[in-house]
Amino acid sequence: MLPRAPQIILSLAFLLAICSPAAVWIGSGPLDVSETEGRRLAAFPKVEADENLLKVFPKEFERYFDDHYGFRSALIELNRAWKSLVFKKSFTRRVIRGQDDWLFFNDRGSLADFMGLKRVTEDELDDWQQQLENKKYWLNHLGIEYLFVSIPNKMTVYPEFLPIRARANQGESRLDQLAQRLGESSSVEDYLSLTDVFIEAKDYASALIADKVGDRNAVDEGLYLRTDTHWTSLAAFIAYDQIMKNLSARLQGLGPTLTLDDVEIDEREATKTDLARLLGLSVLESHRLLIPKSRCWDGRRQNLQTFKSTEAYKIKKERRPQVPLPQKTSCATRDLKAVISHDSFGSRIRMYFAESFREVVFMSDFDTLGMETFLRDFQPDVFIDLRVERLVPALLETDQGLSAAVARIKDGS
């Protein structure tokens, strides 16, 4: 039997071990998103005194507890780091380890889509096209031009760095099918695919930056970060240039398009990259930023508090606790106004559009009809949907309310 002092120490250590997770859980406050896993965490379940309480609440509380117990993220990262460092493989289906330490995001069946295994039927293509045409018709009725822009997944642009079996079986993706369908119709002017542009640009991307910094041997710049799912600043700038070319042919009075002569190169060390983080690895990737030399705007973005009164905001608020408000930039020397709806890829392209429009509102995805009052008040000249390839199908889901609104407009009612 242990002496009394060691027994006390052992007992205290045991109590500390079993109480620490609960203390961390209580003291850390509520968390909405797990950066470690790149997903939204389960919310605390509602307590409703009805006959389903004992059936529903225990399961929902268990999901909440599993997502929030103390040290959870740290333990997940430690486990992933150990497996990644020892076995040099990805232990999550969401990340594909490719050649030369390239990582690819396999979200929403991206790899199956790349290999042509997620085909879209003709009826589904009809629905996607109809959704785009409905949105264009509805916005045009409000006096607003419409442009839908698709950003290719990283594996679409850099298939040579995928595992051999994957790149050897590349097929026609859903985005390829959509591009072909829209190219055969009048919708082509309202749709801009960046896939071919990026595939061509990746061969001279480094040369563009090298010429700019004056050292051809010091630059290895791509269009996507190797260990992150997102594009680089250069890719965002190329996308901005293509979008402005499309809009210049449709909008009179559009401000001048920035060129490489209008930006300066600022090399900064990126934050911890997201795909490496999913594997429990700590990676900082060098990234060159293209920043406008002289800013028409001061770099600040104004949160649109008035947007809280829209139906669009209320609908989204019901689905998730925290909803980011749209943000607005201003440039008094320009003439036109724009609304840009985007996913996480939009963050690196914002500064360029802020220099080209008098006012730009940047927002995440909101219900189309629900923002009508905002659009009538703001009166933008153009509405742009900017989406990465894997999120395009979600954007094109049929909106029955929008379809009905278009039918009423056409009927004159």
pLDDT interval class at 178 (50, 70, 90): very high
Residue listed under structure tokens 């609908």: 315
For residue 351, which of 293, 299, 303, 288 has the smallest C-alpha distance? Answer: 299
Average pLDDT over residues 339-365: 95
Per-residue pLDDT tens for 191-200?
A: 999 999 999 9
Contacts of 313 (CB under 8 A, 6+ apart): 307, 323, 325, 366, 370
Of 353 and 282, the structure prediction assigns the larger pLDDT to 353
Residue 60 pLDDT greater than 50, yes or no:
yes
- Maximum distance among all alpha carbons in the chain? 91
Of 20 and 326, the structure prediction assigns the larger pLDDT to 326
pLDDT interval class at 214 (50, 70, 90): confident
Contacts of 405 (CB under 8 A, 6+ apart): 138, 369
Which SS3 state, helix, strand or coil, does residue 41 take? coil
pLDDT interval class at 35 (50, 70, 90): low
Residue 15 pLDDT greater than 90, yes or no:
no
Average pLDDT over residues 24-43: 57
Whole-prediction pTM value? Answer: 0.80
Of 174 and 412, the structure prediction assigns the larger pLDDT to 174
Domain spans in the chain, listed from the N-terminal domain onward: 22-70, 101-411
Distance from first CA to last CA of the chain, Å, rounded? Answer: 89
For residue 221, which of 238, 246, 242 has the smallest C-alpha distance? Answer: 238
What is the predicted pLDDT for the residue at 284? 84
Residue 146 backbone phi and psi in degrees, to 5: -130, 140
pLDDT interval class at 397 (50, 70, 90): very high
Residue 87 pLDDT greater than 90, yes or no:
no
Average pLDDT over residues 21-42: 57
Distance between CA atoms of 413 and 408, rounded to whole angstroms? 5
Q: Which neighbouring-strand residues pair with 148?
A: 191, 385
For residue 178, which of 159, 196, 167, 191 has the smallest C-alpha distance? Answer: 191
Of 68 and 10, the structure prediction assigns the larger pLDDT to 10
Average pLDDT over residues 53-59: 64
Average pLDDT over residues 174-186: 87
What is the predicted pLDDT for the residue at 271? 73
The average confidence (pLDDT) of the chain is: 84
Distance between CA atoms of 132 and 150, rounded to whole angstroms? 13
For residue 267, which of 229, 212, 201 has the smallest C-alpha distance? Answer: 212
Of 86 and 148, the structure prediction assigns the larger pLDDT to 148
Distance between CA atoms of 340 and 350, rounded to whole angstroms? 9
Distance between CA atoms of 158 and 334, rounded to whole angstroms? 37
Residues 368, 372, 375, CA angle at the centre, nearest 5°? 105
For residue 178, which of 234, 131, 123, 120 has the smallest C-alpha distance? Answer: 120
What is the predicted pLDDT for the residue at 42? 64
What is the predicted pLDDT for the residue at 189? 75
Of 53 and 382, the structure prediction assigns the larger pLDDT to 382
Distance between CA atoms of 31 and 50, rounded to whole angstroms? 28
- Can you state the angle between helices 205-213 and 233-248, rounded to 10 degrees? 100
What is the predicted pLDDT for the residue at 356? 94
Distance between CA atoms of 179 and 188, rounded to whole angstroms? 8
Inter-residue contact 151 to 239 (CB < 8 Å): yes
Inter-residue contact 296 to 333 (CB < 8 Å): yes
What DSSP string describes 41-73? PPPPPP---STTHHHHHHHHHHHHHHHHSTTHH
Residue 18 pLDDT greater than 70, yes or no:
no
